[in-house]
């Protein structure tokens, strides 16, 4: 059962990581990065490291997304070719 | 008795995969933001259920911190889309 949860979370990690690189809209990439860090936080949690999960959730959700949004606001919204 | 909570956690993760499909194929940005917000809330539920499975109350604190920070993240993206930031 825990192994099945492991498999599902790891598949979700690969899908979101591929979507971050493939996506051309930068807001969508930042939002998908938030989802990626959430799934990574669940993975740390399942591996029974709650302190690492707290640090990952704090950095990935609270700080990183906010700083990405501030940086995108100051520059371009779409991918520049 | 513990197996019930583990099976429930597995089912909630499967439902979160439904939201992940919407994150991948969603045509507009607000669709994807709502999908991420759904994944956040389901993640809090999974963390509490797995805290019951592992029988450690320290794991509930992670879910509290997580619920607060996911709200802040969604709030930033929503203010950007709304044009207030």
Q: What is the pLDDT of residues B8-55, one digit of tens each?
A: 888 998 998 888 888 888 788 888 889 989 988 998 898 898 888 888
Q: What is the pLDDT of residues B57-74, one digit of tens each?
A: 888 888 888 888 888 888
Q: What is the pLDDT of residues A51-64, one digit of tens each?
A: 888 888 888 878 88
Between chains, do B85 and A61 touch, taking CB under 8 Å as contact?
no
Q: Is the ipTM of this complex over 0.90?
A: no
User: Which chain B residue's Cα is nearest to A3?
Assistant: B10
Q: What residues pair up with A78 in beta bridges, in sequence order? A: A25
Domain assignments of chain B as residue spans, ordered by start: 2-81
User: Which chain A residue's Cα is nearest to B23?
Assistant: A32
A57, two tokens? 């959730």
- Residue holding tokens 């917000």? B37
Please tell me what DSSP assigns to residue A25: B
CA distances from B70 to A7, A59, B40 (A): 24, 11, 6
List the single residue in A25, A57, A69 with the smallest CB-CB distance to B69.
Answer: A57
Within 8 A of A32 by CB-CB distance, chain B residues are: 23, 32, 36
- CB atoms under 10 Å from CB of B53, counted, come to 20
Sign of the C-alpha dihedral computed for residues A31, A35, A40 and A41 taken in this order: positive
At A14 the pLDDT is 92
Q: What is the pLDDT of residues A7-66, one digit of tens each?
A: 988 998 998 999 889 888 888 888 888 889 888 988 888 888 888 888 888 888 788 888
The whole-angstrom separation of Cα B61 and Cα B80 is: 30
Domain assignments of chain A as residue spans, ordered by start: 2-74
């Amino acid at each position: 059962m825990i192994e099945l949860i492991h498999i599902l979370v790891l598949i979700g990690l690969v899908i979101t990581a591929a979507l971050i690189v493939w996506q051309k809209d930068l807001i969508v990439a930042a939002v998908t990065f938030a989802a990626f860090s959430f799934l990574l936080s669940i993975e740390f949690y399942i591996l029974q490291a709650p302190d690492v999960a707290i640090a990952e959730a704090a950095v990935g959700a609270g700080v990183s997304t906010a700083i990405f949004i501030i940086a995108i606001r100051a520059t371009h919204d779409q991918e520049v070719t | 008795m513990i197996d019930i909570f583990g099976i429930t956690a597995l089912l909630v993760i499967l439902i979160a995969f439904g939201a992940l499909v919407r994150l991948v194929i969603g045509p507009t940005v607000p669709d994807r933001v709502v999908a991420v917000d759904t994944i956040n809330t389901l993640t809090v539920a999974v963390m509490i259920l797995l805290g019951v499975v592992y029988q450690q109350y320290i794991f509930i604190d992670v879910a509290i911190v997580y619920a607060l920070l996911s709200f802040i993240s969604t709030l930033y993206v929503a203010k950007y889309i709304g044009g207030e930031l």
